Chain A
């Protein structure tokens, strides 16, 4: 069964509003989670590395003030897209490192900003 749960699976919001996406590790503690972004018909691009109890590490070109990441517990990381705009519409996927196991991915969240 799924080991990483992502919620919501899809969301539509109006331009200028903020959206929060949750990523949970279901039966293990994940000190590190990753957030990816995928545009239609393209590959996954790493946005940031979420570390429990510390600040996230953002990839070059990703605005940390726009994509707020909080990893407050060992089983939950959240990505908040602040003041969303249509160009932020994308598929966002999280993943978590499970001990002695490859990365496990959530099922993704499709964000549509109108």
Chain B
């Protein structure tokens, strides 16, 4: 069964500093991978997705992620965070043959001034 693991439950970071959120997946078949952001008491907003092609994926709000098949990772990065980036971030995977998203445990990013 596919699983998605987010290694950090919480990441404090200072404003304008870079941030990396780690995500690893396990699967025996090709996957589609996603990063979502959730602000307090709201639903999920798609940041970016990897379906195929270039392994470096650029998303909204200055985020990017790199699909690394050899390391089964899909880490999310932003070179310079803002206070408004304080939120919960979820990595998710979708099997090519299925339509159910499997979510990682989430990483809470707290941006400090």
Contacts and interface: CB of A to CB of B under 8 A. Distances in A.
Contact of B43 (A49, A97, A102, A107): A107
B43 A46 contact: no
B100 A46 contact: yes
A105 B105 CA distance: 18
Interface of B is mostly: strand
B101 interface: yes
Interface string B60-102: 0000000000000000000000000000001000000001111
A49 B100 CA distance: 8
Contact of A108 (B36, B41, B103, B104): B41
Given A43-B90, A44-B90, A108-B41, A102 B34 contact: yes
A4 B44 CA distance: 11
Contacts of B106: 42-43
Contact of A106 (B43, B49, B90): B43
Contacts of B90: 43-44
